[in-house]
Structure 1
């Protein structure tokens, strides 16, 4: 999971980032609200925002994130316990609110719960893959795939950012049955034709990956 962190307290920012990276999350951290705004991207699966940061507060940033992608998951953290502020955060679409000071383990528990229950992988804002049903959705419409095509996409997602070699494709997609390189390449060529944009990339002769 790739996480976007906005916290202007350098020590707390470093502590959260270190703890999350130790647990295997990928984290990009920011200290300034305006800089954070300029780095909003569809690549992030979760945003963690402090409210009171320089130049643009977390509530305004939350609103802009949700306007860009209403399905973005955003956690707000703040020492402000005023009920009107908490209400405003939820009204703007925040998915959880952590009151400072909090134990960093509390944040980890929430993230792990979210990660465990997240069955939707986003290739893009309008291209989704349901990890349970292995269905791919484009603009709310299912793209018809064969069993092997679904299994191949699932394999790529489970190894996001890593190259999936031909041997692994053979073992997972084809249950260990021998397949020639041409057969595997034909599968991927057919799949690419069904997809609305390029999401599968080659790594020379080594295999395939998604970003």
Structure 2
């Protein structure tokens, strides 16, 4: 499991990272909000955000990642006991909240709630995606995908039944580089051709989704 950690307290950041890596998690850790923002697009299964960090706060990053992937799991941590701030975090979609100071073992217990997920995603009859090795199979034969095709499929799976907009595709696949509608349609068309199954649908207001 790959985890994104934002915590500006150096000692706490290092302690969390060391503990999680001991438990065989992969951890990318950051100390400042703006640096975290620049690196937030990636294949992370869990995000841990401290709210009060320099430059860009954790609430903004929470809203940003939930816009890209509403199904992403986010744990917020903060020394602030302001109930309005806690409400705001939950309204923006956080999945759990832990108040400082805390025992790192308590954080691990919360994290473990999100690790027991099936890694095989059934997309259609005899068509499935293995999230562990990021491979797509039809009739148990792997379908070769380019990096962009694979990332588009992951984005659609992460947002299953929800529309993925052009801006989300630009953020996730092209690292926020603007792309023409034709370029995005071409990518979708190539992926559809390889899958052969009719699972990617157009949204009326320029976007795509899978059921």
Tell me the distance in 1 between the aligned counterparts of 2:103 and 2:6. Answer: 17
**1:188 matched residue in structure 2:** 141
Written as runs of structure 1 = structure 2, the 5 A alignment for 1:49-68 is: 49-68=49-68
Stretches of structure 1 lacking an aligned partner (at least 5 in a row): 122-128, 137-142, 162-185, 200-211
- Aligned-residue offset at 1:19: 0.1
- The alignment status of 1:145 with 2:98, answered yes or no, reads no
Q: How far apart, in 1, do the equivalents of 2:97 and 2:66 lie?
A: 16
Deviation digits for residues 2-26 of structure 1 (CA, Å, limit 9, x no counterpart): 0000000000000000000000100
With CA pairs under 8 Å and 6+ residues apart, which has the higher RCO, 1 or 2? 2
Alignment of 1:150-165 (within 5 A): 154=130, 157-158=131-132, 160=133
Corresponding pairs, count: 147
Question: Unpaired segments of 5 or more residues in structure 2?
Answer: 152-211
The structural deviation recorded for 1:113 is 1.9
Output one character per residue of 1:32-58: Cα deviation in whole Å (capped at 9) or x when no partner.
101100111240111000011110010
Cα distance in 2, alignment partners of residues 42 and 13 from structure 1? 20
Q: Which residue of the partner structure matches residue 70 of structure 1?
A: 70
The partner residue of 1:197 within 121, 143, 149 is 149
| C-alpha distance in 1 between matches for 2:144 and 2:14 | 41
User: Partners of 2:47 and 2:33 in 1: how far apart?
Assistant: 13
Secondary structure class of the residue paired with 1:53 = coil
Q: 1:27-176 to 2 correspondence within 5 Å?
A: 27-116=27-116, 118-119=117-118, 121=119, 129-130=120-121, 135-136=122-123, 143-145=124-126, 154=130, 157-158=131-132, 160=133
SS of residue matched to 2:24:
coil
Render the CA deviation track for 1:77-111: whole Å, top value 9, x for unaligned: 00001111100000000000000000000010111
Provide the TM-score with structure 2 as the length reference: 0.63
Q: Deviations over 1:160-179 (max 9, x none)?
A: 38xxxxxxxxxxxxxxxxxx
What's the TM-score, normalizing by structure 1? 0.63
CA distance in 2, matches of 1:100, 1:79: 5
CA RMSD of aligned residues (A): 2.7
* Counterpart-to-counterpart distance in 2, 1:187 and 1:83: 51
Cα deviation 1:142-188 (Å, max 9, x = unaligned): x3316xxx5xx55xx55x38xxxxxxxxxxxxxxxxxxxxxxxx963
Distance 1:198 1:53 in 2: 33
